[in-house]
């Protein structure tokens, strides 16, 4: 079945994401199931970072942190390029979408990069996971301070930095990663022998985030707040934002001379926006009556970026494997005799024709 889908050009994992969206639409988490889904999502994300910490050697993590050019480029894409596009989008789309949705489009461009899916897609595509862990963590930590400040500056609201959200981020992301690093000496061998386990965690975490996000939207009824025409326009705006940033980061990676593995990090970490950070920030930064429409562009953008990057990462993975298979074997070059430094003869490689 999987091979048949591959021959037909259909990505099975994309079908899994669409199936998860359908499941959330038909059976969203309600009542007592809501906290259970929330806790399960946090546990899976923590497990993801624990496994990444156990898999990465401390030297690899340190080398990833030292790549300041890559990290600076990702931060510029996240907190400079995206906001510039957001300001332009708000100006152009306010008459069509209305002020609330247009502000929501701007707000999503001010958020930090998502963490778990950026790293998972980087891993699937064959990128530099160590650099992705550092880049995504840097973006999340900086975004806790920078996003409220950008919101206050560009949207005229009053921003408040929540120390509790900082502690939650440290406990959920960095602590499991450090614990994985500390336990590496005991479980690194098991991790290397069970790479499919990491793949399941990567993809399973994304599916769980998709289900949790869509469930919340269905329960809150935010998807019913728009006419089909406005929803289609909003979809077009989100697609334009995503593909504009994907194009710029792809071009920038090549122009700046990054390796293929680092270009993958730039593409996936520089083009994402975090729903997990955006929803609680919106609840703090905006009046309760305005939150639903404000976060609607973010929720839609989040689903689009997951689906689009699923296709992109899988295609990169196939290209890498295809390139390795198609690499021609190394052939020995015939030698010819030539004068040696001691008056005899020596073998001189024949110039390739």
> pLDDT at position 60, please?
61
pLDDT digit string, tens, across residues 255-311:
999 999 999 999 999 999 987 778 777 777 777 656 767 888 888 898 899 889 888
Q: Does any domain span residue 346?
A: no
Beta strands, E only, the chain = 335-339, 345-349
Question: For the domain that residue 196 is a member of, what is the CATH number?
Answer: 1.20.1530.20
| Assigned token pair, 140 | 């999340």
Q: Does any domain span residue 221?
A: yes
Q: Does any domain span residue 349?
A: no
Contact criterion met (CB below 8 Å) for 113 and 121: no
Q: Does any domain span residue 342?
A: no
Buried b (16+ CB within 10 A) or exposed e, 181-220: beebeeeeeebeeeeeebeebbbebbbbbbbbbbbbbbeb
C-alpha span between 134 and 56 (Å, rounded) = 12
**Percent helix / strand / coil, the chain, rounded to 5:** 80, 5, 20
Least confident of 117-121, 137-141, 333-337: 333-337
User: Largest alpha-carbon pair distance within the chain?
Assistant: 92
> pLDDT at position 254, please?
94
Contact criterion met (CB below 8 Å) for 28 and 223: no
Percent of the chain with pLDDT over 70: 75
- 49 lies in which domain range? 10-318
> pLDDT at position 240, please?
95
Residue 227, φ and ψ in degrees, nearest 5? -75, 160
> pLDDT at position 57, please?
67
Chain centroid to Cα 221, Å, comes to 27
Beta-bridge partners for 335: 349
Residue 334, φ and ψ in degrees, nearest 5? -60, 150
DSSP 82-124: HHHHHHHHHHHHHHHH-HHHHHHHHHHHTSPPPSHHHHHHHHH
pLDDT digit string, tens, across residues 148-170:
889 888 887 544 445 665 566 56
DSSP SS3 for 36:
helix
> pLDDT at position 158, please?
44
Q: Does any domain span residue 328?
A: no
Contact criterion met (CB below 8 Å) for 350 and 333: yes
Residue 32, φ and ψ in degrees, nearest 5? -70, -20
Contact criterion met (CB below 8 Å) for 273 and 109: yes
Determine how β-strand 345-349 pairs with β-strand 335-339: antiparallel
pLDDT digit string, tens, across residues 2-50:
555 555 445 576 688 778 878 888 888 887 788 888 788 778 777 777 8
| Assigned token pair, 143 | 């975004």
**Is the model's pLDDT at 351 over the cut of 80?**
no
Q: How many domains does the chain have?
A: 1
**Is the model's pLDDT at 248 over the cut of 90?**
yes
Q: Does any domain span residue 339?
A: no
DSSP SS3 for 252:
helix
| Assigned token pair, 351 | 């110039």
- Which of 159, 158, 155, 137 lies closest to 146 in space, CA to CA? 159
| Assigned token pair, 207 | 């599916």
| Assigned token pair, 251 | 């071009």
* Average pLDDT over every residue of 332-338: 45
- Which of 148, 181, 185, 155 lies closest to 283 in space, CA to CA? 148
Q: Does any domain span residue 150?
A: yes
C-alpha span between 348 and 137 (Å, rounded) = 53
Percent of the chain with pLDDT over 90: 22
C-alpha span between 12 and 119 (Å, rounded) = 20
């Amino acid at each position: 079945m999987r091979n048949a889908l591959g021959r037909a050009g259909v990505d099975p994992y994309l079908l899994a994401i669409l199936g998860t969206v359908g499941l959330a639409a038909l059976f969203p988490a309600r009542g007592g199931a809501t906290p259970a889904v929330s806790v399960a999502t946090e546990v899976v994300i923590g497990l993801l970072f624990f496994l990444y910490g156990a898999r990465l050697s401390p030297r690899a993590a340190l080398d990833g942190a030292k790549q300041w050019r890559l990290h600076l480029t990702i931060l510029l894409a996240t907190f400079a390029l995206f906001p510039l596009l957001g300001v332009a989008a708000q100006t152009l789309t306010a008459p069509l979408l209305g002020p609330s949705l247009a502000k929501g489009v701007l707000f999503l461009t001010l958020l930090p990069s998502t963490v778990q899916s950026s790293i998972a897609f980087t891993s699937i595509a064959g990128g530099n996971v160590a650099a992705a862990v550092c880049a995504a963590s840097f973006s999340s930590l900086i975004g806790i301070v920078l996003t409220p400040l950008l919101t206050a500056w560009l949207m005229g609201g009053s921003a408040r930095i929540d120390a509790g959200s900082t502690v939650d981020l440290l406990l959920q992301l960095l602590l499991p990663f450090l614990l994985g690093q500390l336990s590496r000496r005991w479980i690194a061998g098991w991790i290397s022998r069970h790479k499919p386990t990491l793949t399941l965690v990567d993809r399973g975490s994304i599916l769980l985030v998709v289900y949790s996000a869509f469930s919340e939207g269905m329960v809150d009824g935010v998807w019913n707040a728009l006419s089909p025409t406005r929803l289609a326009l909003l979809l077009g705006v989100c697609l334009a934002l995503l593909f504009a940033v994907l194009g710029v980061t792809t071009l920038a990676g090549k122009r700046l001379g990054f390796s293929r593995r680092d270009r993958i990090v730039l593409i996936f970490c520089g083009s994402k926006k975090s729903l997990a950070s955006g929803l609680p920030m919106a609840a703090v930064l905006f009046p309760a009556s305005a939150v639903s429409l404000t976060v609607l562009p973010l929720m839609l953008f989040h689903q689009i970026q997951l689906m689009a990057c699923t296709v992109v990462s899988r295609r990169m993975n196939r290209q890498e494997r295809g390139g390795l298979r198609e690499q021609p074997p190394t052939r020995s070059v015939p030698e010819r005799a030539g004068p040696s430094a001691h008056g005899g003869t020596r073998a001189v490689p024949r110039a390739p024709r």
